[in-house]
Amino acid sequence: MDQLHQLKQMTTVVADTGDIDAIRQFQPVDATTNPSLLLKAARDAKYAHLLQEARDWAKEANTSTGTTLAAMTDRFGILIGREITQLIPGRISTEVDARLSFDTAATVNKAQQLIEQYEALGISRERVLIKIASTWEGIEAGRQLERQGINCNLTLLFSFAQAQACADAGIYLISPFVGRILDWHKQRQPDADFSLARDPGVQSVSRIYRYYKTHGFDTVVMGASFRNIGEIQALAGCDRLTISPALMQALADQEQTLERQLSAEHTSRDTRTTLSESQFRWSMNEDLMAQEKLAEGIRNFAADQVKLEQLLQGA
């Protein structure tokens, strides 16, 4: 049995792509998208009909010019999500505009709109996760949405403080970014050995996983943003892992036995702590890596959102 199939026996595998053909090939349980993945899909001719459908829908909505553009991009993401839900048994994660990352009320409103559109297409909210950046404001939006029965995926998560706050907020799922943590450390220590268990991204997710299991949090841990299959192998047994098609293929090409690395029996040395807003912000201020990568991630997703808007507007 190849390692992809072995991994599926101990971890829920999620496709980190907007490529419908890849999802059809690898048959994940869930799938995630983000502005960068949607932009890539929008540039592919095979999705041109969905771009046009998004344009037509926004125009028929009879909104103002500025709102029409936002409506087009939202609709395109939902249409990609609709296609994906026809191929997977689980959930699709759809991201809120990154430019709303520091506005709780606007994030809640946008999430409600996305869910309403999914439901109008016959896709229940139980099959959707709303992706929100793990800022203080985003986590608070997630808290409010969870109370409304809208499950959330808190993304761009790089620090233990973010994970603590998400658990306390009752967030359904978090996406700690393994590879981007590694990128930051490699840039500063290019000659260091960050293989396997020495990988700081792997260490971060392992710590969060143990903390959640030890203290009985229901929040799902889904490792994300992998740079190599070694990181995935080192997190085998994590609740979920969202993996690109290229790395799923690399795992499918491996025949060696895949050993479980994480289990619910693993205990944490971290005591359960509820962070106030000031404590959260101070922890983020003290963690240069998390601070820089969160800000960079928001900027990059926002930039790709703008590119997607321009593509929809100009094509």
CA 297 to mean position of chain CA atoms: 12
Active-site residue flag, 213? no
DSSP H helical ranges for 27-102:
35-42, 48-60, 65-85
Query: CA triplet 11, 17, 18: central angle to 5 degrees?
Result: 135
Query: Pick the catalytic residue: 131, 186, 213, 307?
Result: 131
Q: Which residues contact 267 (CB under 8 A, 6 or more apart)?
A: 210, 213, 214
Scored b (16 or more CB within 10 A) or e, 23-54 reads beebebebbbbbbbbbbbbbeeeebeebbeeb
Q: How far apart are CA 79 and CA 120, in angstroms?
A: 12
Tell the burial category of 303 from Cβ atoms under 10 Å away from its Cβ (0-12, 13-18, 19+). middle
Q: How far apart are CA 75 and CA 56, in angstroms?
A: 10
| Dihedral class, residue 170 (left if φ above 0, else alpha if ψ from -120 to 50, else beta) | left
Dihedral pair phi/psi, residue 243, rounded to 5°: -130, 140
What is the number of other CB atoms lying within 10 angstroms of the CB of residue 188?
9
Helix (H, G, I), strand (E, B), or coil: what is residue 82?
helix
CA 9 to mean position of chain CA atoms: 22
- Tell me which residues are annotated as active site: 131
